[in-house]
Amino acid sequence: MSFLATFEKLSWDQTLASIAEKGATDVERALARPTGGVTLDDFQALISPAAVPYLEAMAQRSHQQTVERFGYTQQLFSPVYLSNVCSNVCTYCGFSALNRIPRKILSDEEIALELEAVKALGMDHVLFVTGEANRMVGVPYLKKAFKIARERFSSISMEVQPLDQADYEELMSAGLSAVLVYQETYHRDSYAEVHLRGMKKNFEYRLETPDRLGRAGMKKIGLGALYGLDDWRADSFFVAAHLRYMEKTYWRSRYSLSFPRIRPHEGDFSPKTVLTDRDLIQIICAYRLLSPEVELSLSTRESASFRNHAYKLGITTMSAGSKTNPGGYAAEKDSLKQFEISDERSPGELAAMLHQGGYEAVWKDWDASYDKVPEVMEAMA
Ligand code: SF4
């Protein structure tokens, strides 16, 4: 049993038709739901064209629900790219295997230097990112990196190739607490058009990755779509359906969503569709109304002015000072980046902006020492 069974019952075209049919009454019904009461049908209304005149009301409600659950805080993080080696060919990505670029896998010493540089930015947790190259940057390499990170950070997250459940369990024993894995697009044909070679061609294996994470008992699981590959409304709905399934099935895990829009990179790819700033605000608010608990993350792909405006409308997590190339914080200032970032402010500058807006920056996610609490309580009983 996995999300695949739910997914097979959903139709892309019927989803699009259903969203297009939504009217003002549907949007008002969705907005009148109590916190936590928004259905997937309501979600379709909230991302429909009919909801555009209600954006202000959605934004106010989203802000209020976010503050009720998360307070006036934003969690900051800086991704650490361990490698730009990739076995896959994805037409929209600078790390794609066919791109003739210098490749790099950080050594133990380079990882330590990189982590020291990120620690110096104020971070107390780390997100490791790699291309997808399981033979060269697989579980043994990741475990070595985690060992170096555990000496410096209170929690470790990763965004790497999808793995088997046993691999996730092994990495959790090595200190991993969160995994981000985006489906990119839930439209099978569009997925096949841009994922030409390598393990990532396997749509089903990727789609079932969150299930394997849930079964492994991962503390936090990140979902999302890459906007620009197909219709943003349909992809947003499929992410919402995936989230709802995961929250019900693996209710012990926490969840996060990201909304990456395709950015310029090495190579030449034109997005099939464009997600405007207004569309993105609509998606953020709709997700918040759907799920009061989900963490919503806004990356440095977005401009400083957009992030300054959007962070109060449902966002809980922001990347800051990101370098999207291996060794980018400590040494390799100019080596190839996965994509260009837009908001170049340092974490300190972002924290100061948040402080001015009445928000506090949070520099850690989970503390591995909390894992021992059940054992301690048991011993005390
Ligand atoms: S998107 Fe990921 S899997 Fe595809 S080429 Fe880039 S790094 Fe590799």
Check if 88 has its Cβ closer than 6 Å to any atom of ligand 1.
yes
Treating both helix axes as pointing N-terminal to C-terminal, what angle do 139-150 and 165-173 enclose, rounded to 10 degrees? 20
Distance of alpha carbon 366 from alpha carbon 264, whole angstroms: 33
Per-residue pLDDT, 368 = 67
What integer pLDDT is reported at residue 1 of this predicted model?
87
Read off the pLDDT band of 55 (50, 70, 90): very high
Q: Is there an atom of ligand 1 within 6 Å of 126 CB?
A: no
Mean pLDDT on 158-171 = 98
Please name the residues in contact with 126: beta carbons below 8 A apart, sequence gap of 6 or more.
Answer: 77, 78, 80, 115, 118, 149, 152, 153, 155, 156, 157
Q: What is the CA(169)–ligand 1 centre distance, in A?
A: 24
Task: List all residues 6 or more positions away from 374 whose beta carbon is below 8 Å from its beta carbon.
Answer: none
- Spacing, Cα 267 to ligand 1 middle (Å): 13
Asked whether 132 lines ligand 1 (CB < 6 A), one says yes
| Residue 327 Cβ contacting ligand 1 at under 6 Å | no
| Residue 86, pLDDT above cutoff 70 | yes
Atom 2 (ligand 1): residue with closest C-alpha?
A: 131
- Residue whose Cα lies nearest atom 7 of ligand 1: it is 131
Kindly tell me if the per-residue pLDDT of 195 is higher than 70: yes
Identify which of 82, 83, 86 to mutate to test ligand 1's pocket (most ligand atoms within 8 A of the CB). 86
Decide if 114 contacts 123 (C-beta within 8 A). no
Q: What is the pLDDT of residue 227?
A: 96
Distance between CA atoms of 196 and 209, rounded to whole angstroms? 19
Beta bridge partners of 318: 76, 298
**Ligand 1: distance of its center to the CA of 92 in Å?**
8
Ligand 1: which atom is nearest the Cα of residue 86?
Answer: 8
Q: Would you list the DSSP string of 36-52?
A: T---HHHHHHHTSGGGG
Of 293, 289, 294, 312, the residue nearest 51 (C-alpha): 289
How many angstroms separate the alpha carbon of residue 19 from the centre of ligand 1?
A: 31
Whole-number mean pLDDT of the chain?
94
Q: How far is the first Cα of the chain from the last one, in angstroms, to the nearest whole number?
A: 37
Amino acid code (one letter) for 302: E
pLDDT score recorded for residue 378: 74
Mean pLDDT over 70-77 rounds to 96
Q: What is the pLDDT of residue 267?
A: 59
Tell me which of 89, 90, 101, 324 to substitute to probe ligand 1's pocket, judged by most ligand atoms within 8 Å of the beta carbon: 90
- Specify the residue with its C-alpha closest to ligand 1, atom 1: 93
The yes-or-no verdict on residue 334 having pLDDT over 60 is no
Range 343-368 average pLDDT? 91
95 lines ligand 1 (CB under 6 A): yes
- For residue 31, give the nearest of 4, 52, 58, 1 by alpha carbon: 58
Helix (H) or strand (E) holding 179, with range, is: strand 176-180
For the cut 60, the answer to whether the pLDDT of residue 266 exceeds it is no
- Tell me which of 82, 92, 95, 263 to substitute to probe ligand 1's pocket, judged by most ligand atoms within 8 Å of the beta carbon: 95
**Residues 224-253: tens digit of each pLDDT:** 999 999 999 999 999 999 999 999 999 999
Confidence class for position 333, pLDDT limits 50, 70, 90: low
Cβ–ligand 1 contact at 86 (below 6 Å)? yes
Q: What is the pTM of this model?
A: 0.94
How far does residue 321's CA lie from ligand 1's centre (Å)? 21
* Pairing verdict, β 89-90 and 220-224: unpaired
Ordered domains of the chain (ranges, CATH)? 3-380 (3.20.20.70)
Does 200 sit in the ligand 1 pocket, CB within 6 Å?
A: yes
* Ligand 1 neighbour 154 (Cβ under 6 A): no
Distance 48 CA to ligand 1 centre (A): 31
pLDDT for residue 188 is more than 90 = yes
Name the closest-CA residue to atom 5, ligand 1.
96
